[in-house]
Amino acid sequence: MGLFSKDIKTFEDLYKHGLQDIYYAENQIVKSLPTMIDNASDAELKRGLQQHLRETKEQVKRLEQVFKLHDETPSGTKCPAIDGIIDEGSDLIGEVEDKAVLNVGLIAAAQAVEHYEITRYGALIAWARELGHDKDAAILARNLSEERATDKKLTVLAERRVNPRPATGNATQARRPKAAASRRTAATRRKPAQKKQRKKSARRS
């Protein structure tokens, strides 16, 4: 069942359904992260994913605290969105043989998950505050903070350590034609001046 269901009648229903949605998502992420960790060949990426697995397990526990605040048993509702994102990551692992390229793909897959979670937590926190569930909002805000921090770490890792950098030689070659063109232009400008100088010298003689 998706986020927008016919079973949702009130704002409170929407909020509780959102909690079930993210609870399902976090549990699916806990199941999928070990495979990503096993297939990451970059040491820093592997450590980052391991750390996030530990954080995600704690996030699940925090969500269970929120359910208990409402005297409800923690439960999830199937979320096609997170299932699709995770399936894409799994397909990538099976299709890419080059380890360096796979590392780049794993970062992109992990960030797709993070962006989904950031969006969901952002909405849930706003809904919780509007409904007067301030304790819920405080707990959910801790999860959101960790998701944002993980996303930033993945971005830095992608830019510094894993994503292929453009070859410096190409940039140098790109600059050389411009320099050569500048020299040709300067030489062209000098030629008329040199001709005028020769004409003046001929008149004096």
4 domain residue, yes or no: no
Residue 71 φ/ψ region, left for φ over 0, alpha for ψ in the -120 to 50 degree band, beta for the rest? left
Residues 110 and 181 in one domain: no
Please give the average per-residue pLDDT across 172-190, as a whole number.
49
Domain boundary among 162, 177, 192: 162
Question: Over the stretch 55-86, which tens digit does the pLDDT of each residue have?
Answer: 999 999 999 999 999 999 999 999 999 999 99
**pTM of the predicted model as reported, rounded to 2 decimal places:** 0.76
Q: What is the rounded CA–CA span in Å between residue 128 and residue 138?
A: 9
Residue 88 φ/ψ region, left for φ over 0, alpha for ψ in the -120 to 50 degree band, beta for the rest? alpha
Q: What pLDDT does 160 receive?
A: 80
What residue numbers bound the domain in which 182 lies? 169-205
* CATH number (domain holding residue 40): 1.20.1260.10
Q: What pLDDT does 174 receive?
A: 42
Per-residue tokens: 162:
């894993």
121 domain residue, yes or no: yes
Residue 133 φ/ψ region, left for φ over 0, alpha for ψ in the -120 to 50 degree band, beta for the rest? beta
Q: Looking at the 3D structure of the chain, how many domains does it have?
A: 2
Q: What is the rounded CA–CA span in Å between residue 29 and residue 113?
A: 8
